[in-house]
Amino acid sequence: MNDPDDRPSRPRGTGRISRGGAPRRVDPSRRSVQRPSERARSVDPARKAAWETMRAIDDGAYANLELPKQLRRARLTGRDAAFVTELVYGATRMRGLYDPILATCTDRPLADIDPAVLAVLRLGAHQLLGMRVPAYGAVSQQVALTRELLGAGASGFVNAVLRRVSEHDLETWQRQVAPRGDGRAGELAVRTSHPAWIVRAFRGALLGHGAAQEDTVDRGLRELLEANNAAAKVMLVARPGLCEVAELEAAGGRATGLSPYGVELDGGDPGNLPAVRQGRAAAQDEGSQLVVLALLAAELRGDPPHQERWLDLCAGPGGKAGLLAALAGSRAVLFANEISDHRADLTRRAVAAAVDAGSEVMVGVGDGRTLGEEEPDTFDRVLVDAPCSGLGSLRRRPEARWRRQPHDVSGLGELQRALLRSAIQATRPGGVIGYATCTPHLPETRYVVADVLAERDDVEIEDAQPLFVDASGAQIPDLGEPPYVQLWPHVHGTDAMFFALLRRREAT
């Protein structure tokens, strides 16, 4: 039998779906999208793995952690793995658009649909509207998946709903379901599948960081939201002294233009590379790499130490600590602090290869908010990679936009201020503090730094922009209004990392 995915025919609609899951009016000649002899007889392993991943995400799992487990369990590689990745990330990312579409295709409230069935429908909607899967194959395979996993009754409901979804293309559906008359944010929220509060936060961030003006912000906002919906490249860091960029290039990667240690992969599981398995390289966005390099490029004042003391105040899960440890060598001792035992263990794994190569690293468990009191005036360089809303990494964490709420930010702001105060106290006079977040949201970035600076007379802010140079040594453009640095997915191709450089004043 031909693979249903290869069949180009599109099913016709049956009308609105009743609460019982059957069409209200059924033409016997159109009772099924395909003849019984043509229905998919077995479940596609790739689609089953995608559904299993979606169910785990519904239960609180993170896509970037759960998906590799499901791919290994199903023994999927190459094109099949890429298909599952796009299916899961796309269906999760675009649910803010697909759910209103699905809601118009049945009069049953989505909240009343079994979550297991809703996961099937979201995966089907993405195949029909976001991927180049022929309608016949998408519907047939999702129906077969439902029949095997959830029963014949549910499969009939899925068949009817997805047939209705297939009646229109994406643009037509967007025009039908995007709200009108409630302002630009509401329409953009549905069209680009972002919560409206995030759309408003991004608009304010573009203006507040100087990335756009009133006459250009609408265009910039759309570009940013669209960039959040584009699949992020797999980005690696070749940890210096442990792995050369050339080794990762030989494994199929390409050297990047921003970080001198960055390597881009077209896809696949980075864990399959020996350098990654051994901890000599790791998955890490270029924005995160640039933050570490900027902190280490800042000049120290006062008596230069024979061996510098570095502190990563919020080290888990260890990505930035791994790069710091590799760069430390004989230059510095790295202290990595983490409040969580589990994340401290992850940090130890991240720095293990550098420790084996001779770097001196100490990983400890403690509350970063009190470390400054416990070890005042101690460190030359302190990184505060503060816990944040993560709005800058929505490309890589498709579920994050649906889990964060506006009230989360107020609590994070207090934590961020407390950590920055502690970091300043832990820094010796003449030393530097790097405050970084993976979000451009103003209440987590500029406002936090400004509030802490207003409280103290022992610290000053410096222009961080000259420290952000690309792999060739040239100044990276479009970093926003100094003295801060704000990177953007739609401008720099990185996560939306924010960075501020503070210096502890020397005694007079």
**Do residue 110 and residue 223 come from a single domain?**
no
The answer for residues whose C-beta is within 8 angstroms of residue 464's C-beta and 6 or more apart is 294, 434, 482, 483, 484, 485, 499, 500, 501
Tokens representing 232? Answer: 């992020």
**Predicted pLDDT of residue 267:** 76
Q: Is 358 left (phi over 0), alpha (psi -120 to 50) or beta?
A: left
**Do residue 380 and residue 291 come from a single domain?**
yes
Pairing of strands 281-283, 234-238: antiparallel
**Predicted pLDDT of residue 48:** 97
Q: Does residue 180 have a pLDDT over 80? A: no
What CATH number corresponds to the domain at position 337?
Answer: 3.40.50.150
Domain assignment of residue 423, given as a range: 286-504
Percent of the chain exceeding pLDDT 90 equals 83
**Predicted pLDDT of residue 107:** 84
Task: Report the number of distinct structural domains present in the chain.
Answer: 4
**Predicted pLDDT of residue 191:** 95
Q: Does residue 436 have a pLDDT over 80? A: yes
**Do residue 18 and residue 152 come from a single domain?**
yes
**Predicted pLDDT of residue 106:** 94
pLDDT tens digit sequence for 280-333: 999 999 999 999 999 999 999 988 778 999 999 999 999 999 999 999 999 999
Q: Whole-number mean pLDDT of the chain?
A: 91
**Predicted pLDDT of residue 181:** 60
The set of catalytic residues is 438
**Predicted pLDDT of residue 268:** 75
**Predicted pLDDT of residue 350:** 98
User: Whose CA is closest to 252, among 235, 240, 264?
Assistant: 264
What CATH number corresponds to the domain at position 80?
Answer: 1.10.940.10
**Do residue 116 and residue 148 come from a single domain?**
yes
**Do residue 244 and residue 163 come from a single domain?**
no
**Do residue 417 and residue 275 come from a single domain?**
no
**Do residue 267 and residue 306 come from a single domain?**
no
Mean pLDDT for the stretch of residues 75-100 = 95
Query: Do 416 and 314 meet the contact criterion of CB atoms below 8 Å apart?
Result: no
pLDDT band at 15 (very low <50, low <70, confident <90, very high): very low
**Do residue 155 and residue 184 come from a single domain?**
no
**Do residue 277 and residue 302 come from a single domain?**
no
Q: Does residue 11 have a pLDDT over 80? A: no
**Do residue 39 and residue 147 come from a single domain?**
yes
pLDDT tens digit sequence for 376-408: 999 999 999 999 999 999 999 999 999 998 988
**Do residue 203 and residue 82 come from a single domain?**
no
Of 7 and 154, the structure prediction assigns the larger pLDDT to: 154
pLDDT band at 272 (very low <50, low <70, confident <90, very high): confident
Query: Do 183 and 189 meet the contact criterion of CB atoms below 8 Å apart?
Result: no
pLDDT band at 409 (very low <50, low <70, confident <90, very high): confident
**Do residue 157 and residue 41 come from a single domain?**
yes
Q: Is 200 left (phi over 0), alpha (psi -120 to 50) or beta?
A: alpha
What CATH number corresponds to the domain at position 263?
Answer: 3.30.70
Query: Do 102 and 17 meet the contact criterion of CB atoms below 8 Å apart?
Result: no
Mean pLDDT for the stretch of residues 259-274 = 90
The answer for residues whose C-beta is within 8 angstroms of residue 345's C-beta and 6 or more apart is none
Q: Does residue 152 have a pLDDT over 60? A: yes
Query: Do 89 and 231 meet the contact criterion of CB atoms below 8 Å apart?
Result: yes
pLDDT tens digit sequence for 185-198: 889 999 999 999 99
Of 309 and 13, the structure prediction assigns the larger pLDDT to: 309
Q: What is the DSSP string of 148-194?
A: HHH-HHHHHHHHHHHHHHTTS-HHHHHHHHS--SS-HHHHHHHHTT-
Percent of the chain exceeding pLDDT 70 equals 91
Q: H/E/C letters for each residue in 385-446?
A: ECCCCCHHHCCCCCCHHHHCCHHHHHHHHHHHHHHHHHHHHHEEEEEEEEEEECCCCHHHCH
